[in-house]
Amino acid sequence: MTIKSSQNLVEDALKEVKTISPEEALSKFNDNKCNLIDIRDIRELQNSGKIENSLHIPRGMLEFWMDPNSSYFKEGKVDMDKEIVLFCAGGLRSALGAKSLKDMGFEKVSHIDGGFGAMKTKGFKIT
């Protein structure tokens, strides 16, 4: 049996998903053109803070909260007409999450290169 490594999964995801810079994400966010979704674990938000006005959807629940046919779907939480921009701590989980959403059929999906770590230094307000 051959097991694909997590690194290989991320590399494959990065070939398929749109990666944007923290600066580009901030511009989209400030222009109200995207849903900025933090997929970090709740403990990470408690320890490091969160980006003001971002949505929190834990990585483990992403597909379920975004699926209108799921009993976990969060009606009205995400504006489906806007781009979905995911971020995590460093950009690995968000790449996997973006690929998963793309696989589900979402077209306007991207993730932020460098994640929260990079966003903290690029003008995002931390609460």
Q: Is residue 81 part of a domain?
A: yes
Q: Is residue 12 part of a domain?
A: no
| pTM as predicted | 0.95
How many residues are given for the chain?
Answer: 127
pLDDT digits (tens, 9 = 90+) for 87-115: 999 999 999 999 999 999 999 999 999 99
Confidence at residue 37, expressed as pLDDT on a 0 to 100 scale: 98
Q: Is residue 62 part of a domain?
A: yes
CATH number at residue 23: 3.40.250.10
Q: Is residue 10 part of a domain?
A: no
Q: Is residue 125 part of a domain?
A: no
Mean pLDDT of 1-19: 95
Q: Is residue 74 part of a domain?
A: yes
The Cα angle at residue 44 between residues 43 and 46, in degrees rounded to 5: 60
Q: Is residue 9 part of a domain?
A: no
Query: If you count DSSP H runs as helices and E runs as strands, how many of each does the chain have, helices first?
Result: 6, 5
101 CB-near residues (< 8 Å, 6+ apart): 62, 63, 66, 84, 86, 109
Secondary element (H or E) of residue 56: strand 55-56
Confidence at residue 1, expressed as pLDDT on a 0 to 100 scale: 87
Q: What percent of the chain has pLDDT over 90?
A: 95
Structural domain containing residue 30 = 17-119
For residue 74, pLDDT beyond 90: no
Confidence at residue 25, expressed as pLDDT on a 0 to 100 scale: 98
Residue 61 pLDDT grade (very low, low, confident, very high; cuts 50, 70, 90): very high
Q: How many domains does the chain have?
A: 1
Q: Is residue 109 part of a domain?
A: yes
Residue 82 in 3-state DSSP?
coil
